[in-house]
Amino acid sequence: MHRMSLEDATALAEAVLKGQGFSHDQTRVLTQAVIAGQRDECHSHGLYRLLNCASTLAADKVVADAKPQVYDQAPGIIRVDAGGGFSQLAFEAGLPVLATKAREQGIAALAINHCVHFSALWVEIEAITDLGLVGLACNPSHAWVAPAGGSRPLLGTNPLAFGWPRPAGKTPFVFDFATSAIARGDIELHHRENKPLPKGWGIDRAGQPSQDPAAVLDGAMLTFGGHKGSALATMIELIAGPLIGDLTSVESLVHDNGAGASPYHGELILAMDPARFLGVNADHYMANAETLFSSIIDQGARLPSQRRYEARERTRKEGIAISEALYQELVKLM
């Protein structure tokens, strides 16, 4: 394993992205995203993702110097055209207006169009909870997942993320999960490491259950929870695809045309202001939420993202570790 500090990891990511030709602003936000993933030990969304950034650019499927355009769509809707760039800069451009609209009206939506996407949604959700707002985000991906009862890829991994702000000194309540049984990146990592998959993650090209990551990558992933995950994935296809005037996961894969690049689609983000919803009762009902969280913990259960927050504190002190093979791959891209 190759160990390094977060500062050295940041410098490595910046050097890779600049070396590949990404603009200053795109490099800045992409670095923040992959370092956040690595810092929280979400390895499938950490430094490993720099390989996808480079290959997506090499395939001419992302605009390295894209500058997002912000549009005031409606009283409760902000739209940002990412211009074919990665989603992070578009989110950064739209967040201030999203927050303002949410505080004015209680709820607002941010629609990001024409973006390339690879990152975890909890990074964006935490930016929303840091402002004292409740957040929800979702997006399609590539058609890698079979619907419940089906045998061919149709849906994306279609993540859904939610965040609830908490008092100072307490980490927000955040969850972020794919509606597939596992994230695509985790199957890719199993393939790189020649490790078999757990049962229930995917099927081969003939529609048969498989624990071979290569066969699943060539076949189809499965949804979590059978028909329940399949229904949620379909909902996300609709509200973060046709509803915002963007691509479904099938259309994203057609756009890719065999390049193997990161998905190209849209993203829907909602922000809600508890103060606007609750008025003078805000403190009372936010305290009720804390009672709920305490009741969960008192049973010995864990809140979502607790493992991430523990990893965050650990890596801030101890740094991070990636495989020597991955490190050497990244160095070659600088």
Active-site residue identified among 40, 81, 176, 186: 186
Active-site residue identified among 40, 43, 44, 249: 44
Which candidate, 260, 232, 252, 233, places its Cα nearest to that of 113? Answer: 252
| Whole-angstrom distance, CA of residue 137 vs CA of residue 109 | 10
| Whole-angstrom distance, CA of residue 210 vs CA of residue 191 | 13
Strand partners, 311: none
Sequence-ordered strand ranges (E) for the chain? 2-4, 69-74, 77-81, 107-116, 134-138, 160-164, 173-177, 202-203, 220-221, 264-272, 320-322
* Dihedral of the alpha carbons of 79, 85, 89, 93, in degrees to the nearest 10: -30
Neighbours of 260 (CB within 10 A): 12
Residue 131 phi/psi, 5° resolution? -90, 5
Q: Give the HSE-up count for residue 129: Cα atoms under 13 Å, Cβ half-sphere.
A: 23
Give 75's DSSP letter.
T
**Is 44 designated active site?**
yes
In angstroms, the first-to-last Cα distance of the chain is 20
**Is 262 designated active site?**
no
Neighbours of 290 (CB within 10 A): 13
Active-site residue identified among 45, 117, 142, 265: 45
**Is 45 designated active site?**
yes
SS3 53: helix
| Whole-angstrom distance, CA of residue 179 vs CA of residue 160 | 7
Judge contact between 38 and 320, C-beta under 8 A: yes
Active site residues: 44-45, 186
